[in-house]
Amino acid sequence: MKRALEGRVALVTGGSRGVGLGVVEGLLEGGATVYFTGRTATSAGLAVGIPCDHTDDDAVAAAFARIEQEAGAIDVLVNSVWGGYEAMVEDGAFTWNAPFWQQSRERWPAMFDAGVRAAFVASQLAAPAMIARKRGLIVHLSFWAAQKYLGNVLYGAAKAATDKLAADMAHELRSHGVAVAALYPGLVRTERVLEHADALDLSNSESPTFTGRAVAALASDPHVMAFTGQVLVSAALAEHYGFTDIDGKRPLPLTVDSA
């Protein structure tokens, strides 16, 4: 990909693994100066890791202050940090797909505080500088569970809230020239997915970097405001912008019916 993001500063929350790490890689390919956060984040190659617990507002504010001091204002914010996946197995039983009345209530704060609220706080901190410069991009990573039942009521509610967050932030930032979108990856070959590769059909799967290339393409687009407020799909953006995955393939875009 062309290094169209040279001189831009990006922050990926929850960027130390999984899809978040793929976004870091995609933005680095584009030439951006990339920071990422995680509970145990350490710098990796050209990206700068900042240890940060996104349920601690003071820690998040300190991370933003460090980035501004070292690199300047953030041009691209990608909210990837999420919670609730940590305890899918309880007392030896896989409970992620249990009906809502059997769900652990701890999954609610895990997803809404470490996920939805974390995206809200990070966006609050990034927005003023973007407004002052009349440019910027905020991407909330979301998923099809926002639009259809995928086996966990809490997860669906949290992702629906994420989509609404993107839509309403876009409404308020539109006049300031700042774009906001929700982005849906497809089936991503994360570390956890590959652990169960024998039981999955990965024929239309994506690398984590593919999502990063989608973000980089959006951030490089001088007409990105045309997408503000929308729910976007990584594979559909690949068709629009003409990029491929790291293996040279272009996965087919999922839809509500196929997700």
The per-residue pLDDT for range 180-215, each reduced to its tens digit, is 999 999 989 888 778 767 777 888 889 999 999 999
pLDDT tops 50 at residue 108: yes
> Each residue of 123-134: pLDDT tens digit?
999 999 999 999
Domain covering 9-241 in this structure, CATH number: 3.40.50.720
Listed by start position, the domains of the chain span 9-241
How, if at all, do strands 9-13 and 33-38 pair?
parallel
Catalytic residue among 35, 85, 149, 155: 155
Q: 149 catalytic, yes or no?
A: no
As given in the structure block, the two tokens for residue 206 are 């994506």
Angle, helices 118-133/57-71, rounded to nearest 10 degrees: 30
What are the C-alpha distances in Å from 191 to residues 18, 20, 33, 150, 240?
6, 12, 25, 20, 28
pTM for the model: 0.95
